[in-house]
Each structure stands twice: as structure tokens, then as C-alpha cells.
């Protein structure tokens, strides 16, 4: 079996598809999440479909002091780890998240907790001098908008954090890939108005796995979101601030 891949935030549709795509290549899988029932089900399914080892552990994002022990426990179970996929994210009610302390939770999960588990992953992979980190950020982090800026700000922070890690780890032969999904057909977006060019979780999973062996550092999925965001980023702030986005 190929070395294990850890998926943090493993119960979302994108995470499940990504785990499946890695397992299809023969990688053992370690699932980190907070819903024991779902983790059990997803792990059993991966083990049956792909005949890999699939383990899971309860990961409490907000409890930063638990992250080191969590990471070590996963290592102890799986042996060596090839890479880490950070798929954790929380959109929440963005209207409510304008106000604190509720907004702090969104920033905590999407940025602080993410950075924390990435720091442990980075130290481990840096010492091994191989492997990869894939961080699933968001196009929402490319420009702050009134409809979701607490989430967008946290994801912008995550993108910058991944950028810094990439700079640091490039000297240790560790790939750091930032993935920026556009609209994906998941429970988070189901039935939402105004979606267009929606990608399937399976497409996302396959493309995320494929990115490991490609050279791009920042991957927009589907690819055309790079150009949509290029246009959005180019609009002068004087005009942008008046738009209803």
C-alpha cells in the first residue's frame, strides 16, 4: 500500500471524494473530523471499495492544544504519512457572522484552527523532506464582499498562510498546493439561488489528487474560476465598494 494521506474535515462531500480518489490510487486514509458516526461510515466504505486501510479520529478544531496529540496519534496508527489535505471549512450564517463573537467562530475554524493543524503537518513533512500539503481555501478569499466577508477574510488568511508555508517548505521538497474551489454541488450549496457552472464533488476529488503531480501552486477548480476571479480582482475598489456582491 502507498503511504497514508490524512484528510482534515473529512465528512464533507468534497473531502469524501478526495479521500476516495487517493484511496483509488492505493493510499491508506486517515480521516479527521468531529462526527464519529459519519467518520465510521466513510472509513468503512473506503476500506471496502478500495481495499486500503482507513482509520479515523475525532478532531476538535477549536481545541488548539489538542492538535499536537491528535496528529501524533494519527501517525502512530498509520505509520508514515505522505500528505495532508485540509478540507475543513465552515460557512455558517454569514449574516449572523457579521457580529461578534459569532464571527470569531468562523474565523477560528476556517483560519486559526486550520493554521494550527497545518503547522503540525508542516513540521512533520519538513523533517521527512517529502510529501505534500493541500489546503482547500476559497475564491471567497480573493476579494472581500459584503455577502460573506467573515468567511472570505478567514480564507484569505488561510491562502496567505499556505503561501508562506510553500515558501518555507520548498526548501524541503514538500509541495504545498492551494486549492480554490468555485461552486461545488454539495449540501452547503444545494438549492441555493444564483449558482452557475457548478462542479461535482467527484470532479473536485479527482482534480485535487491530480494537482499533487502537477506543477501549479494555486489551483482554481474548475479552472475558469481563475479568470472569473481575475476580473473580480481587477475592478477598482472605488467601483467595487458600490456593487452588491
Partner 1 sequence: MNKLNQPLSGWGRYPVQTCATSRPERYQDLQASSTTQIARGQGRSYGDAALGETVILTERVNRMLAFDSTAGTLRAEAGVTLAEVLEVIVPQGWFLPVTPGTRFVSLGGCVAADVHGKNHHHDGAFSQHIIALELILADGAKVACSATENAALFWATVGGMGLTGIIGEVSLRLIPITSPYMQVRHYAAANLTGVFALFDNAALDDAYSVAWIDSLATGKSLGRSVLMTGHHADAADLPSVMRPAAKSTLSMPFDLPAFVLNPWTVKAFNQFYYSREGHKTQPFFAHYSDYFYPLDGIAHWNRLYGKSGFVQYQCVIPTAGAFAAVTALLEKLAASRRPSFLAVLKKLGAQNQGLLSFPLAGYTLALDIPMRDAGVLALTRELDAIVLAHGGRVYLAKDALLTAQTFRIMYPRHAEWLRIKQAVDPDGRFASSMSQRLDLGVQHG
In angstroms, the CA 107 to CA 158 distance is 10
Environment class of 237 (CB within 10 Å of its CB; exposed 0-12, middle 13-18, buried 19+): exposed
| Residue 137 CB, nearest approach to partner 1 (Å) | 21
Q: Which is nearer to partner 1, 17 or 108 (CB)?
A: 17
4 in Cβ contact with 28 (< 8 Å): yes
Chain-centroid distance, C-alpha 235: 27
| Residue 21 CB, nearest approach to partner 1 (Å) | 16
Q: What are phi and psi of 220, to 5 degrees?
A: -90, 135
Q: Which is nearer to partner 1, 100 or 190 (CB)?
A: 190
Name which of 77, 169, 80, 53 is nearest 118 in CA terms: 169
Q: Which is nearer to partner 1, 2 or 48 (CB)?
A: 48
Report helix, strand or coil for 178. Answer: strand
151 is catalytic: yes
Q: Of 151, 161, 190, 203, which one is the catalytic site residue?
A: 151
| Residue 185 CB, nearest approach to partner 1 (Å) | 9
Residue numbers of the site for partner 1 (CB under 8 A)?
11-13, 35, 37-38, 41-42, 44-45, 48-49, 186-187, 190-192
State the catalytic residues.
151
Amino acid at each position: 500500500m502507498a503511504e497514508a494521506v490524512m484528510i482534515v474535515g473529512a465528512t464533507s462531500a468534497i473531502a469524501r471524494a478526495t479521500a476516495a480518489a487517493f484511496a483509488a490510487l492505493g493510499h491508506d486514509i486517515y480521516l479527521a473530523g468531529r462526527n464519529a458516526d459519519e467518520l465510521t461510515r466513510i472509513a468503512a466504505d473506503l476500506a471496502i471499495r478500495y481495499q486500503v486501510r482507513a482509520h479515523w479520529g475525532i478532531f476538535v478544531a477549536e481545541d488548539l492544544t489538542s492538535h499536537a496529540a491528535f496528529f501524533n496519534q494519527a501517525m502512530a496508527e498509520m505509520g508514515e504519512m505522505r500528505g495532508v489535505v485540509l478540507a475543513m471549512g465552515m460557512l455558517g450564517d454569514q449574516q449572523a457572522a457579521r457580529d461578534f463573537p459569532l464571527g470569531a467562530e468562523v474565523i477560528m475554524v476556517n483560519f486559526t484552527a486550520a493554521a494550527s493543524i497545518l503547522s503540525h503537518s508542516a513540521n512533520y513533512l519538513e523533517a521527512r523532506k517529502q510529501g505534500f500539503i493541500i489546503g482547500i481555501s476559497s475564491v471567497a478569499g480573493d476579494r472581500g464582499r459584503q455577502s460573506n466577508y467573515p468567511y472570505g477574510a478567514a480564507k484569505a488568511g488561510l491562502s496567505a498562510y499556505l503561501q508562506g508555508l510553500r515558501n518555507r517548505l520548498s526548501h524541503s521538497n514538500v509541495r504545498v498546493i492551494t486549492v480554490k474551489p468555485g461552486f461545488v454541488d454539495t449540501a452547503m450549496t444545494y438549492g441555493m439561488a444564483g449558482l452557475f457552472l457548478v462542479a461535482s464533488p467527484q470532479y473536485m476529488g479527482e482534480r485535487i489528487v491530480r494537482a499533487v503531480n502537477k506543477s501549479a501552486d494555486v489551483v482554481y477548480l474548475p479552472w475558469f474560476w481563475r479568470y472569473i476571479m481575475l476580473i473580480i480582482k481587477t475592478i477598482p475598489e472605488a467601483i467595487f465598494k458600490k456593487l452588491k456582491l
